[in-house]
Chain A
Amino acid sequence: MKALCWNGVRDLRVERVDDPKILNPRDAIVKVTMSSVCGSDLHLINGFIPSMQAGDILGHEFIGEIVEVGPEVHQLAIGDRVVVVSIIGCGECTYCKEQLWSLCDNSNPNGVLQEKIFQYPTAGIFGYSHLFGGYAGSHAEYIRVPFADHGAFKIPEDIPDEKAVFVSDGMPTGYMAAEMAGVKPGDIVAVWGAGGVGQMAVQSAYHLGAERVIVIDSIDYRLAAAASHSNAEVINYEDTDVLEVLKEATGGRGPDCCIDAVGMEANSKGVEHYYDRAKQALKLETDRPAVLRQAIAACRKGGTVAVVGVYAGFADKIPMGLFLNKGLTMRGGQMHGQRYVPLLFDLIREGKIDPAFMLTHPMPISRGAKAYELFNKRADGCIRAVITPHA
């Protein structure tokens, strides 16, 4: 089959690879119909997440059709149209049982290795480096899905593909961000990043009762999409002092909830940017935490900062004094997708959250490298390019 493979920093190639096989009793094989790009892939492509190997198949946000099931798969049948959560959970460990799926004890084949860095192992993720299990990703005609009964969900008939695909990753991440930020009726919420995750955080925050949601980014077409599709107020950080504008917009208090939907590759202005870029290049810090710093500074006293933008390791100059003295709460995590899928299906059907506008570029797998180029450069109005391996 054809698959889109990582071959080095910003070097992606479509290659012919073997079809996947059932390797464990709880596996299923899915014929991929749609597979989206995600901001997390950019961290791999741009070379900021360690333990990639040439030949690794990328992609983790996808839908498809069940074509084969292992002997211990009981909830799924051949022909089922499914969305598969990007994170792999065994469903049996204490973390999975408590719905903390991305913390699964048992799904990462390289758990012992990952433990050397994170102290405890976390869940495997499709197409997301060997540290996270080295699982082959979804930018391929077929994919093997471990623990399929828990990770693959039948898509209700009335939900079309272009909405269902984002239930795999972007939507649950945005929803979990709003939930972790503790959004309550009447709150003012600030979201950094108007990519797919940020867009979904905006809609989720409104769903949880936010009075106003303010989005910060520098890409005008993405800000415009947040305004028109999700009713967000927008700030372009290029031409303003974000902290001043947020303060002014909130009667001098600051937002109640701040969401970092940018992560380790945040851009910033002037000296700060050069400082972080240099340290990152020299491996003295792995992450550029400009957004995290700003969110901690902007947040009102006693407010909450939720982090879903991905960080890989170590970040410098985090304003701990502000965090402590303002009495903030900070939460973060890879999303626990399996916990949110049924709820998100309902919200889509009720029209409360609509992700379809994010699918700006459907593309055949042969143009996979191009899809990432558009997405990485924020070109041509791209929010999410979606690969259709069988189209």
Chain B
Amino acid sequence: MIKNVGITERLLSVAAGAFLLGKTWRRSKGRPIPLLAGGYLIVRGSLGYCPLSHWIGKKNIHNPAINIKVVMTVSKPREMVYQYWRTLRNLPSFMAHLQEVEEKDEKHSRWVAKVPGTDGIIEWEAEIVKDEPQRLIGWQSTDGAIIRNAGKVQFFDAPKQGTEVRVIFSYHPPAGGVGVGIAKLLNPLFKGVIEDEIRNFKRVIEAGEIPTTVGQPAGVRTGKFKLI
């Protein structure tokens, strides 16, 4: 028993460490995929454990739809929190993968996203399908989007003060053809990045900025790590 607990914890830290390794190197060198693969291989090799398959889960290998759920409490009043999100052009201020969201009218918007690891962009149109002021915003991509996607945000008063925000994003790549390439983008890393970005909503609304270390000085990155 005790041993199992120890090993689980160890795996967790290694997985986290590998994730970090990719993240940090991505920042400094801008070539994430090979380095990350390296990181994962190290983990996998040394421990016989594959965080990727752990994170993907067996069933997702056949159905690469990605669902992202984030629940967070923001220490600002519900009206303000709702309004910031409802103003869709604010979304890129906390979600870096979005280059732009253009609001065409009350209901319709055009979204431009960067493709991770490349210079490419993907665009799609979305419409607001539900809008209950101060309570709920729901949207989905309109017909023709390469990656069919939808999202919902709900707002609740937190017990003492502030607002509980529940966010769900889902992405469905098309089957076959071009879809196979696109499907590869929708991997667990993508999921982690989007999750991280959604949570930046809280940082932007509360602190007015997203904490960062990108661009700070460091000594020579010889590649040596202490993961656990």
- B20 near A21 with CB under 8 A, answer no
Q: Is the CB of A134 within 8 A of B213?
A: yes
Please choose the segment from B9-17, B98-106, B170-178 that sits at the chain A interface, where 4 or more of its residues have CB less than 8 A away.
Answer: B9-17
Q: Does A159 reach chain B (CB closer than 8 Å)? A: no
Which chain B residues lie closer than 8 Å to A47 at the CB level? 226
Q: Taking each of A88, A91, A283, which has the highest tally of chain B beta carbons within 10 Å of its own beta carbon?
A: A283
Task: Report B10-68 residues with CB < 8 Å from chain A CB.
Answer: 10, 12-13, 15-17, 19-21, 23-24
What 0/1 readout, one digit per residue, does chain B (185-228) give for beta carbons within 8 Å of chain A?
00000001001100100110011111111111111111111111
Complex CA–CA separation, A250 to B135 (angstroms)? 60
Known contacts A54-B225, A106-B202, A135-B216: does B211 contact A146 (CB below 8 Å)?
yes
> How many Å from the CB of B201 to the closest CB on chain A?
11
Contact of B214 among A23, A56, A93 (CB under 8 A): A23
B205 CB to nearest chain A CB (Å): 9
Report Cα–Cα, A284/B10, bound state, in Å: 8
A226 part of interface (Cβ distance < 8 Å)? no
Interface of A is mostly: loop
The 8 A CB mask of A134-157 against B (1 = contact, 0 = none) is 111000100010110000000000
B76's closest neighbor in chain A, by CB? Answer: A92
How many angstroms between the C-alpha atoms of A323 and B151 in the bound complex?
Answer: 48
For A23, give its contact among B15, B207, B212 (CB under 8 Å).
Answer: B212
Task: Say whether A381 faces chain B, with CB atoms less than 8 Å apart.
Answer: no
- State in angstroms the CA–CA spacing of A69 and B196 once bound together: 28
Interface CB pairs A-B, < 8 A, 22? A3-B217, A5-B220, A17-B218, A23-B214, A24-B210, A24-B211, A53-B24, A90-B203, A92-B75, A105-B203, A106-B203, A106-B207, A107-B211, A109-B211, A110-B23, A112-B199, A116-B15, A124-B211, A134-B24, A135-B213, A284-B3, A313-B13
* A interface residues, Cβ below 8 angstroms from B: 1, 3, 5, 7-9, 13, 15, 17-21, 23-26, 47, 49-57, 72, 88, 90-94, 97, 105-114, 116-117, 124, 130-131, 133-136, 140, 144, 146-147, 283-285, 313-314
Report the 6 A-B pairs with minimum CB-CB distance, sorted nearest first: A5-B219, A55-B219, A54-B224, A15-B219, A90-B207, A17-B217
